[in-house]
Amino acid sequence: MIIKEKTFTNTLTFVLTTITGNVLSIDDLIVDRFCINILPKIDYNIKSLILESQSMERILLAANYPNLTELKLYNVNDHIISRHFTAESPFRHLFQEQITDLILEYNKAIHILSSNSNERNVYEYTLNVFKNLKHLSVIQCDQLLSIKNLAFTTWSSLNLTKLCVDVCCFDDCFALLDGRLKQLNTFIVRIYYINDELSSVYNMDDLPNMKCFSLRCRCETNQYDTRVLPLLRHMIKLDELTLIVINDERTSLIDGTQINNNILVHMPSLRKFTFHISTEVELHHIIHHLSNEDIQQTFTNIGYQQVCCILYYMVDSIMCHIFSLPFAFDYLGYIGNAFPPIDFSCVRELTVDDEIPFEHEFFIRIARFFPLLKKLHVFNLEPQLQMKDNLISRNNEFYSIVEYPNLISLRLQYSHICYVEQFLNQSW
């Protein structure tokens, strides 16, 4: 077990980690030393605490922390929330009066084991207890925030300026922006389901306070045009915009011209635009054969240089990825044999899919340009040509070993058996 403690003039960062597994094992004697001999002596200087949630109670009760305003908790689960985020909590004075910045990072494995369907929602607990919150982030939580059917006053705050949350559908996103969070200037949201029609009419005026907006969602047919773009039109004063949008079953590709005409011209104050938009269109909707250069040119014409495109044809459809550089996201889905030789260091999960075989050199390129890859999904039913030749010659000396030092998940269930053999053969 490793315990690290860093003390600065105004901030204490207290990190508990383990090298023995996913369940944290804490040496009571070492933690007691911090709680008894160290924390009470420096608590006046502490403004921020980063804690593993299982040790939260012991550490928060160890001192008074008169200047503590920021709290980040790892390995949170529903049981911990329902137990500690209450008016009866022994450190309720910290929660109700002092904490302005709260970040909750769920441990999904613990969350599943300890979940209780009878426990109140994490978001209800949090807003009821933390009265002075300015920043709330709930990360990797299986509970999705849904407020579309709640009264206007049920989920409202005059203090909250930054919110990072996952919601059920676009109704919830619109509801959060209908005036109940008047001071919100940074909104980071992932929408899991985009409903065909909004269930209510939302009185959304322009949002002049909104300076930073990040949206991650998946759209079908024309939902990008009827949901995403109307929402962005209300954010005319944005400084920063991040979009991660997957479009299925559209009738036209989204390119630089559309982005300029539908987004950029409506945001004159925008100074940073980070995006990855993928679009799949059936081939019968495409009049002319398109190339990467054709899509890239639509950005050059509007003076947007730091953009890249991945375009490839399938049997019945065409897939187009457009994204800003450097690539800033942890997931890239459905690229084929041809992808640009650029740095994809941020990508942790990758899906590759093509009707042309993936040869050995392709996986060498993946290892080179995706150096921190943790999850790889391979979809390809065509056998490798090199594999055929190798089976005939019984010689695999020309293969070099491909190393993925960070890979923890490999999915090959929709792939030819040769890819299984390649990954399991230690001589390749």
Report the DSSP beta bridge partners of residue 15.
4
DSSP alpha helix (H) spans, 286-346: 292-300
Choose among 398, 392, 388, 395: nearest CA to 418.
388
Q: Model's pTM, two decimal places?
A: 0.85
| Nearest-angstrom CA–CA distance, 233 and 206 | 8
Q: What is the dihedral of CA 36, 42, 43, 48, to 10 degrees?
A: -110
pLDDT, tens digit (0-9, with 9 covering 90-100), for 137-192: 999 887 788 887 677 677 788 899 999 999 988 888 988 898 888 899 999 999 99
Quickly state the pLDDT bin for 425 (edges 50, 70, 90).
Answer: confident
* pLDDT for position 179: 85
Quickly state the pLDDT bin for 23 (edges 50, 70, 90).
Answer: very low
| Nearest-angstrom CA–CA distance, 253 and 239 | 26
Over residues 289-312, the mean pLDDT reads: 88
CB 275 within 8 Å of CB 243: yes
* pLDDT for position 196: 64
Domain parsing of the chain, residue ranges: 332-428
* pLDDT for position 300: 85
* pLDDT for position 207: 87
Is the pLDDT at 201 greater than 70, yes or no? no
Quote the tokens at residue 304.
């947007």
Choose among 328, 255, 242, 315: nearest CA to 291.
255
pLDDT, tens digit (0-9, with 9 covering 90-100), for 74-102: 888 888 888 888 888 888 889 989 999 99
* pLDDT for position 54: 81
Over residues 217-234, the mean pLDDT reads: 92
% of residues, the chain, pLDDT over 70: 84
Is the pLDDT at 393 greater than 70, yes or no? no
pLDDT, tens digit (0-9, with 9 covering 90-100), for 348-392: 999 999 989 999 899 999 999 999 999 999 999 889 886 655 544
Over residues 399-410, the mean pLDDT reads: 88
Over residues 46-61, the mean pLDDT reads: 89
